[in-house]
Amino acid sequence: MAGGKESPRQKMIGMMYLVLTALLALNVSTSVLDKFISINDAFETTNGENGTENGNKVAAIQKAVEESGNRKQDLSVLTKAQEVRSETQKILAKLEEYKEELIEITGGRDEGTGVVLGKKDIDAASSIFVHEGKGDVLKEELNGYVQFLRDKTGMTKEELRDIARDAKDIEAYKNDEDQMRKGFAELNFGHNTPMVGALATLSQFQADILLEETKALENLAAEVGAADLKFDKIIPMVKPISKYVAAGTKYEADLFITAASSSVQPTMKVNGKDIPVEGGFGKVSFTATPGSYDKEGNARKTFIGEITLKQPGKKDTTFTDTIEYFVTKPVIQIQSASVQALYLNCGNELNVNVPALGTSYNPSFNVKGGTSVKGADKGQVTIVPKSAKVTLSVSSNGNLIGSQDFKVKRIPKPEIKVYSGGREVDMKRGVKSCPRSIKLQAVADESFAQFLPKDAKFQVAGAEITLVRSGRAVVPMKTTSPNVNLSRLASQARSGDAIVIEIKKVKRKNFQGKIEDFPNFSPKILNIRIN
């Protein structure tokens, strides 16, 4: 069997034919022979229906040619279709002659019922087609017919397969030791083939002929519009001037219809790359990249759209258009305690958003002139400046959105203050007597501490303290702690003496908990008068 686009009925008949052929090899009862007669009758009925249908296809081609104005190229296709139908009828008639010959030499038909009388004959088929060589002639006729179809349509051997094949060319037989060496004639009409089996085989060949003819006619019909593109999906579409309208302004749009066909499967591309097609509509989706923005923040972009489909009477046709669109420069919104300037060597926490990107916003950051630490939430980043200027570049899903420059400030000097008894010592008035203990405290600039409390932690880490009398040192001492015990000085202090404190070292703890020396503080020297 030739295979191809067979109807369910044809497939069922073909399957029964194969089963009965296998049963014959087992020498089953004559009831199997009667089944072959039924199979042959079914083939002949189906072949008659398919023949009528193919005749209607030629009529449809003729009508399409007339409706198209009898163009020269269309008339040429019609002629080919008519020639195909004529050649098909000739070879079908030739096969009928073979069938009648088989019936006649095996006893003819019952005059009353028309039933073949030689159904049990097992010699006539092999005698005619194998020994007399008519099987080889039939092979040439069948395959010559298929070649004729190829010549008329330009279809390939893969599209129109040979009907008559040797066992080695058939998948089911090529590895079968009992069958693989048989030629076409012996395979189909060999020794002990019953006459009714040969009749069913010839009817099967007629079915294969009609199937190949159907393929050829459908191919020709597509060239002149008999298989016209039918738009069966009509959809209203709106093309707005803008999807965003401010209150009090006009909404303007073009309302129109678009159509698609479910009978064709076009292929579509964007910039040369295939895109998915659903229900005749291509799904265009890509990430817009930044470009050369104009003064209004818009960058002109284009992409090339391609739609390829087979039009009636033509080969595959590709429609191409260049589509224009504009990329709007996203606005980067930065929120922090101070966005005008950042502080050197501090953890400046920023919250960077790009509202235009919505849920697709997936930020990454690059810092020139410093380092960055990505935060736990989307858009959060900590910038640590290392130079006088920092540039923060913001990207989303690998695409650069924009950059923001920041000036960098130095950390303000902390002020050194002295506390005694929980109160700040008044440097102008002095103290009534030398305190037993004091606390040296480096107090951060109020504004800086408000902006970056995690980086505004200072501590005195070294100082020299001297009891001074009449301009000379009486009792000197050193400390590495902000909490200083002055008992040794207090025991020798007198009214009119002074406590001179020289701050040697101040340290700062940053936002990451790291300790660093901080040399920029004031005052360096404090003088407390003892009254």
Identify the helix (H) or strand (E) that includes residue 203.
helix 195-224
Q: Which fold has domain 333-409?
A: Immunoglobulin-like (2.60.40)
Is there a contact between 416 and 442 (Cβ–Cβ < 8 Å)?
A: yes
Please tell me the distance from the alpha carbon of residue 30 to that of residue 49, in angstroms, as a whole number: 29
Name the pTM for this structure. 0.46
* Residue 511 CA: distances (Å) to CA of 268, 378, 382, 387, 453: 55, 20, 10, 18, 8
CA 83 to chain centre: 47
* Residue 458 CA: distances (Å) to CA of 78, 416, 417, 509, 518: 98, 10, 12, 7, 8
DSSP 8-state assignment for residue 453: G
- Please enumerate in sequence order all residues whose Cβ is within 8 A of that of 471, keeping only pairs 6 or more positions apart, or say none: none
Among 428, 426, 430, CA closest to 530? 430
Among 504, 509, 422, CA closest to 458? 509
Instruction: Please list the pLDDT of the chain residue by residue as tens digits (531 residues).
Output: 444 455 555 555 455 555 545 544 444 456 667 777 888 888 888 889 999 999 999 999 999 888 888 888 889 999 999 999 999 999 999 999 999 999 999 988 888 888 888 888 888 888 999 999 999 999 999 999 999 999 999 999 999 999 999 989 888 888 888 788 889 989 888 888 888 888 988 989 999 999 999 999 999 988 886 555 566 677 787 777 766 555 555 767 788 777 766 656 788 898 989 989 887 788 888 777 777 878 767 788 888 989 887 655 456 778 888 888 777 777 778 876 555 689 999 999 999 988 877 787 889 999 999 999 988 888 899 999 999 999 999 998 888 888 899 999 999 999 999 999 999 999 999 999 999 999 999 999 999 999 899 999 999 999 999 999 998 999 999 999 999 999 999 999 999 999 999 999 999 999 999 999 999 999 999 999 998
Output the CA torsion 437→439→440→445 (10° steps).
Answer: -160
Q: State the burial class of residue 151 (Cβ atoms within 10 Å of its Cβ: 0-12, 13-18, 19+).
A: exposed
User: In this structure, are strands 399-409 and 341-343 parallel, antiparallel, or unpaired?
Assistant: parallel
DSSP 333-401: EEESS-SSEEETTS-EEEEEE-GGGGGG--EEEEEESEEEEE-SSTTEEEEEE-SSEEEEEEEETTEEE
DSSP 8-state assignment for residue 154: -
Identify the helix (H) or strand (E) that includes residue 504.
strand 498-509
Please tell me the distance from the alpha carbon of residue 36 to that of residue 120, in angstroms, as a whole number: 11
Helices (H), 154-194: 184-189
Is there a contact between 42 and 10 (Cβ–Cβ < 8 Å)?
A: no
Helices (H), 163-194: 184-189
> What sign does the dihedral 68-73-77-78 (CA atoms) show?
positive
CA 227 to chain centre: 32
The two tokens of residue 329 are: 């420069």
Residues of the chain with CATH 2.60.40.60: 333-409
Helix axes 72-105, 195-224, angle to 10 degrees: 180
